Structure 1
Amino acid sequence: MGPVEFLVLAFPGEQVGADVVTPLVALQRTGGVRVIDTLAVTKAADGSVRAAELSEFEHLKDLVAGGDPVNLMGEEDAAEAAELLEPGSSALLVLIEHVWATEVAEAFRGAGGRVAASVRIPPEHIDEAHRALANAS
């Protein structure tokens, strides 16, 4: 198995749209990732929180059809994600396996290796570093 990552993708508005889910489904179809589990979390304008499987949304159920639901994420995950949200916004919680890295991960494990650290660098930090280098020249 490749590395597994838990993501909380936050969006304005109280609904996760198909425009967000479609690229994720496409990436899974190409074999880059395997979506292990998903959960949609909405924080209404009044602060109330709702969590649901993507298949429960009429506008998304055809996109996520097929496969057996795993349901590894639950109320505790939804509550933690909701703390990150502003009222009137939503989040897509995604547990994905990076299939593209499976062979490398298996080689590391076979050699007795382990991941000693993993840091996700936001794209805007990379852009900022590029600008700083360009300005320094």
Structure 2
Amino acid sequence: MAIGPVQLIVLGFTHPDFHGEVIAELERLRASDAIRVIDALAVYKDAKGEIEVEHLSNLTTDEAVELGSKVGALVGLGIEGEEGLEAGAALGAAAAEDGIEVFDEEQAWDVVEEIPNDSAAALLLIEHHWAVPLRDAIARAGGFRLADAFISPLDLVGIGLVTAAEAAELDRIERSAAASS
């Protein structure tokens, strides 16, 4: 299993009205082999302040074990050199047999403190599997990533990818969700 670029995305939801659409879309992207959710933590606080926390990952058990093995091998290599590589791989694989949870309960409580009642937050650790061949081609050409960022819809107007009206509508959608909190 080649590991693609990994991204952490933190999302906020005001007055969430979940119908399973986000999880369905993540599963669709997984089925198309575009992304994999390594770990996700969703924290919901209802209008009375009651809290619900849920973990999600769409790695198969074999993928979790393989990823755990690779991460463990890298950690072992960094600590003990060649001798730590094999031990780290074995420990990482064993630790991932029940799935990978990058986000722990302590992080859940940190998120809970930051969100108001009747809202939710989600932390998604996503592997961009679609980018593996591109990343490898860039590396073979001697290239490397200098920076990355999401671009605002309004900035897309300046480079001609969307019209001002389309950008204004995209921006309105993003801002109305944030403002209603």
Tell me which of 23, 28, 42 is aligned to 2:25. Answer: 23
Tell me which of 11, 14, 31 is aligned to 1:12. Answer: 14
Aligned twin of 2:60 = 67
Matched residue of 2:102: which SS? coil
Query: Distance between the aligned counterparts of 2:32 and 2:149, measured in 1?
Result: 25
Alpha carbons 2:39, 2:101 under 8 Å: kept: yes
Identity %: 34
Normalized against structure 1, the TM-score is what?
0.68
Choose between structure 1 and 2 for higher RCO, CA contacts under 8 A separated by at least 6 residues.
1
More helix by share: 2
Taking only aligned residues, the RMSD between alpha carbons, in angstroms, comes to 3.2
Aligned twin of 2:179 = none
Runs of 4+ residues deviating >6 angstroms: none
Superposed, 1:1-137 pairs within 5 Å as: 1-13=3-15, 16-47=18-49, 49-54=51-56, 67-68=60-61, 69-82=99-112, 85-123=115-153, 125-126=155-156, 130-131=163-164
Structure 1's unaligned 5+ residue stretches are 56-63, 133-137
Normalized against structure 2, the TM-score is what?
0.54
Alpha carbons 1:16, 1:40 under 8 Å: kept: no
Alpha carbons 1:15, 1:42 under 8 Å: kept: no
Could you tell me which amino acid in structure 2 is paired with residue 33 of structure 1? I
More strand by share: 1
Rg bigger for which structure?
Answer: 2
Q: How many residues align structurally?
A: 123
